[in-house]
A = this chain, B = another copy of it.
Amino acid sequence: MQISARNSFKGTVKSMTPGAVNTEVVIEVAPGLEITAVITKTSAEGLGVSVGGEVYAVVKASDVMVAVD
């Protein structure tokens, strides 16, 4: 399946913090570059996401902001 979300970054799961509803997933997409996702615990379990596993972080372009110094 190909999705319209413009941003997809391959990485390795560094840590997972499960709550009752959501799970926080920290993904290293390059050395020293991490992306944090919050997804439902049901999704994390359904996809078999686990520390050390290879995943993609996916973001819709309309959810990306731009900042300047």
Contact = CB atoms under 8 A, between A and B. Distances in A.
A38 B20 contact: no
B57 A2 contact: no
| Total identical chains | 6
Contacts of A62: 22, 38, 40, 62-63
B2 A47 contact: yes
A38 B58 CA distance: 15
Contact of A35 (B39, B48, B64, B68): B64
Contacts of A29: 33
A43 B59 contact: no
A23 B48 CA distance: 22
B39 A66 contact: yes
